[in-house]
Amino acid sequence: MSVYMSGRAWAYVGAVLGGAVSIAANVAHSFVTPQGAPADWSPDSGAVVGAVVWPVFLFVAVEILARVSWPNGVSWRIVRWGGLLPVALVAALVSYRHLSGLLAHYGEEPLVVVLGPLAVDGLMIMATAALMATSRSATPALMPIPQQNHAASTTIPVPTTPIPTTVNPVAPSTVDTQAAPSFMDDAPARSAMDDRPERPANEPAPAAAPTPADLAARRRKTPAPTGPVAASLAPVETSRPARRPSPRPRRDDDAPPRPSAPSTADSSVNALDRARPAAPAVLSPEVLAMASRVAKQYRADNDGTPINANQLAVRLKVTSEEAAQALAVLDLGPDSPNTPIPSVNGRSARVTR
């Protein structure tokens, strides 16, 4: 921090010194008597003030440029540098002319007259750049972060308590009434926990962990349960009752059958029948009686035309094989409903007038 402040202080010293020399040279040049002037000539007050104004303008412009935190952007850069350059150029030109004329009036060599004012202007430029570099708007250098001494820091170990677990060994033919002690409670500490605090003196020492031989001896010493306990532990065999097949729904024989209209062959039933294997079906008497009643009703409603197997399967909701078997059984009777009734003049012969 001391280096930062001393550099800015020297920048102010250079700016003040260059400005003072420039102001003094400008004021002194204003008092130089022009050629052909009367003996009582004296400079006007405006000329003296004008000689002081130019270095002051340059110093104020440099302070504005250095102390203001200018926003980012092209327009702000144009305003900042576009305003400083005219002030700096005009002030440098006026100061150079005044200082060069003053040196010529004092009879200096032509080289000193030409190069002498450049030393003052160069000092002003360098001081201005130093003030801008050390301005508050500039980002200061980052201070080094002191590194922590990891060797001096100590880590306090936190003792961890093992989670107790219960292991119950169960034999196939015996019941162990004692729970085996946990192996996790009395396990020796790991090497990573050697630095944990010691146990208090009044705390009892942990018991030694039992070995597999001790556990086997305990199981052999445990007597087998007898009496009601053994009876309660014995497996009980349960038998499930056989399910009876649900009977088919029966129709009331006294109810008159509804007239049935001829229907087309059931293609879905035929496709299902072709997919099934051909196996002889056993028909119940109820199905045969229902088939006989449906066949008679169909023949009576359709002018003696007998019903076929597909139509009977649709009405009875059975397969085509069962319907065909039912028709075959009905054909064995003396008055088979599967026999067509002869017609006379398009009407059944059994129709009475």
pLDDT: is 274 or 26 the higher one?
Answer: 26
Cα–Cα distance between 260 and 214 in angstroms, integer? 88
Q: Where in the chain is the domain with CATH 1.10.10?
A: 267-348
278 or 102: which leads in pLDDT: 102
Q: Give the residue with greater pLDDT, 278 vs 100.
A: 100
Interacting residues of 35 by C-beta distance below 8 A, sequence separation 6+ = none
State the virtual CA torsion across 274, 278, 281, 287 in degrees, nearest 10: 20
Tally of CB atoms within 10 A around 62: 23
For residue 347, the model assigns a pLDDT of 55
8 A C-beta contact, residue 273 and residue 265: no
Average pLDDT value for residue range 187-195 = 51
Q: What is the pLDDT of residue 190?
A: 53
CA dist 125 and 146 (Å) reads 38
Mean pLDDT within 335-345: 61
The arithmetic mean of pLDDT across residues 206-215, rounded, is 74
**Measured CA angle at 272 (ends 268, 273), to 5 deg:** 115
Residue 247 binned pLDDT confidence (cut-offs 50, 70, 90): low
pLDDT at 34: 79
Cβ atoms 314, 266 nearer than 8 A: yes
- Band of pLDDT at residue 38, cut at 50, 70 and 90: confident
| Residues 256-312 pLDDT 10s | 556 555 555 555 555 555 555 555 557 788 888 888 889 888 888 888 888 888 888
pLDDT at 149 over 70: no
Q: State the chain's mean pLDDT as an integer.
A: 71
Q: Tell me, what's the pLDDT at 142?
A: 45
- pLDDT score of 288: 85
Chosen CATH of 267-348 out of 1.10.150, 1.10.3470, 2.60.40, 1.10.10: 1.10.10
pLDDT surpasses 50 at 329: yes
Residue 140 pLDDT greater than 50, yes or no = no
For residue 346, the model assigns a pLDDT of 53
pLDDT of 351 > 70? The answer is: no
Q: How far apart are CA 319 and CA 327, in angstroms?
A: 13
* pLDDT of 151 above 50: no
- % of the chain residues with pLDDT over 90: 0
Q: Which residue has the higher pLDDT, 137 or 231?
A: 231
Give yes or no for residue 214 having a pLDDT over 60: yes
What's residue 242's pLDDT?
62
